[in-house]
Every structure is written in structure tokens, then in C-alpha cells.
């Protein structure tokens, strides 16, 4: 059973972390968490994420109708609802303006090289969504086609969005995205990041799937996708069929990995 008060406390905590890390300024950013198939909790508009109270959160249904709460929901509620509609596996969403990630979003630049294993394990892939005017239907529309690819999306001229299986999963992905963006910028000041080889990238996605139990991204196109055409070649057309053909092999690998992990736990 969902503990709604605990989720409200977690939203307050995540808001404080976002504010303390300068992922947001003033009243920027918004957070939401799914409490049932038909309801979510979402942050209010006009309130600093660093100074929220549990009573500030609003309960709304999937049409955006306010069910409880005395304040107005965030003006970006349409974006949150669009994510929950598209991705039934998503249970929480964090939207912020972390400086390094947002710098790439404002510059309209997406990484063309995959260089860090941890990013694949945590985020899978990063996308850059085209600009959509905040508070309008443009913004939800701009991110929808990227949701199958990515759990972390840069919003052109705006900020970043991360989604997760729970509230802290979504927040930690925002931390990873900002950390990766900072490293990428520094690497470029030093002459540019060195890309992992295609086979190394494929191996990392195999580990992500078989060890961490995270599904392969559903590649729907390379426009605005970190790694671009290289990712299409590695994970794109034919991946689903290949996964079906190799299902028994992957099951065997998974069993061996789980067996080894159990031995280590003993």
C-alpha cells in the first residue's frame, strides 16, 4: 500500500537537494510521483523547491483535475501527465535547470560520443528534445518521441527532465546527468572526450540489461540522441529480433550472473 505522507516527505527532501545543489533557482523546477494508476502528487507553482512543506503538494488525476490541495499545481503539469501516459513504468519525474546540463540544452548540443560506462548503467541514453514553449502543449509534444529512448532528456533552451521507478531513482538520474555534463564540458576544454568503441558500448548495454535488469532502449531515431548514428548501428534496427533469437543465451547469462552474485552475498 502506498504511504502518501512518506511520498510527500520524499518530495520535500528531493526539493531541498535540488535547491542545495543549485539544480534550481528561485521557484524553478517541479517534481511529481505516481500514487496510483489514476492519481499523482505534484509540486505547486510559485514555491521554492528548497522550502516546500508536505502540505504544499497537490493530488491530481490523470486529466489534471485537482483532487486535494489548496495551491495551484506547477504550470508544467501537462509535461508530467504526458510522461505518465506514455511510460506506464515511470513512477516519478524530476524537472530542473542544472547549470551544466542546461548549458548543453541552451546551446542545442547533445553528446556525439558515448564515453562513460556509468551513464549507460544509470541513464541508458540521453536525448535532446526540440524547444517547446513552457506551460503549453508544445513541450509535452516535444518530449514524447524521446521517452522510448531515454530516461534523461535535455529540453532545448529550457532545462532537463529525468524519470524513474521511484522518486529517488528519478532524482539520482538528474545528478548523473549533471555530473556527466560537467565532465563532458571539462573534457572538451582539454581537447575532447574519447569515445568508447562500439563493441565496448554494446557490452555495457548487455550488462545493463542482464545484470541490472534494465531493458534496452527502444530506438526510434537518431535525431537528438546521444551517440547518434553509432547507437542506431549498435541498438537500432534488428535489435528486437536479435534479442528474441538470443533469448535463451541471455537467460543463461542472467542465471550465471545471479548465481555469482548470490555467492558473493554469502
Known catalytic residues are 76
Q: Classify residue 133 as left (phi > 0), alpha (psi -120 to 50) or beta.
A: beta
Angle value at C-alpha 134, between 153 and 94, nearest 5 degrees: 40
Nearest to 74 by CA among 161, 172, 175, 173: 161
Task: State the Cα–Cα distance between residues 64 and 84, nearest whole angstrom.
Answer: 12
Write the DSSP symbol of residue 109: -
Helices (H), 21-150: 77-86, 99-107, 117-122, 138-144
Task: State the Cα–Cα distance between residues 217 and 245, nearest whole angstrom.
Answer: 18
Sheet holding 39-42, edge to edge: 66-68, 58-61, 39-42, 30-34, 92-96, 159-164, 152-155, 126-129
Cβ atoms 6, 12 nearer than 8 A: no
Task: State the Cα–Cα distance between residues 18 and 169, nearest whole angstrom.
Answer: 14
Task: State the Cα–Cα distance between residues 35 and 41, nearest whole angstrom.
Answer: 7
Cβ atoms 17, 50 nearer than 8 A: no
The radius of gyration computed from the CA coordinates of the chain, to the nearest angstrom, equals 19
Amino acid at each position: 500500500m502506498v504511504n502518501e505522507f512518506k511520498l510527500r516527505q520524499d518530495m520535500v527532501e528531493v526539493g531541498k537537494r535540488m535547491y542545495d545543489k543549485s539544480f534550481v533557482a528561485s521557484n524553478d523546477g517541479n517534481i511529481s510521483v505516481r500514487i496510483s494508476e489514476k492519481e499523482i502528487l505534484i509540486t505547486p507553482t510559485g514555491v521554492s523547491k528548497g522550502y516546500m512543506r508536505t502540505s504544499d503538494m497537490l493530488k491530481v488525476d490523470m486529466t489534471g483535475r485537482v483532487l486535494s490541495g489548496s495551491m495551484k499545481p506547477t504550470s508544467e503539469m501537462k509535461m508530467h501527465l504526458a510522461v505518465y501516459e506514455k511510460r506506464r513504468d515511470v513512477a516519478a519525474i524530476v524537472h530542473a535547470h542544472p547549470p551544466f546540463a542546461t548549458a548543453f540544452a541552451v546551446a542545442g548540443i547533445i553528446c556525439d560520443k558515448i564515453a562513460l560506462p556509468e551513464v549507460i548503467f544509470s541513464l541508458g541514453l540521453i536525448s535532446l528534445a526540440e524547444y517547446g514553449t513552457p506551460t503549453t502543449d508544445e513541450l509535452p509534444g516535444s518530449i514524447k518521441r524521446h521517452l522510448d529512448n531515454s530516461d534523461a532528456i535535455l529540453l532545448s533552451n529550457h532545462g532537463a527532465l529525468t524519470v524513474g521507478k521511484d522518486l529517488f531513482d528519478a532524482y539520482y538520474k538528474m545528478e548523473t546527468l549533471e555530473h556527466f555534463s560537467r565532465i563532458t564540458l571539462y573534457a572538451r576544454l582539454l581537447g575532447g572526450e574519447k569515445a568508447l568503441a562500439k563493441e565496448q558500448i554494446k557490452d555495457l548495454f548487455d550488462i545493463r540489461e542482464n545484470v541490472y535488469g534494465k531493458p534496452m532502449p527502444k530506438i526510434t531515431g537518431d535525431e537528438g540522441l546521444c551517440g547518434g548514428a553509432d547507437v542506431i548501428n549498435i541498438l537500432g534496427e534488428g535489435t528486437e529480433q536479435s534479442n528474441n533469437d538470443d533469448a535463451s543465451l541471455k537467460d543463461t547469462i542472467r542465471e550465471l550472473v545471479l548465481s555469482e552474485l548470490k555467492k558473493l552475498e554469502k
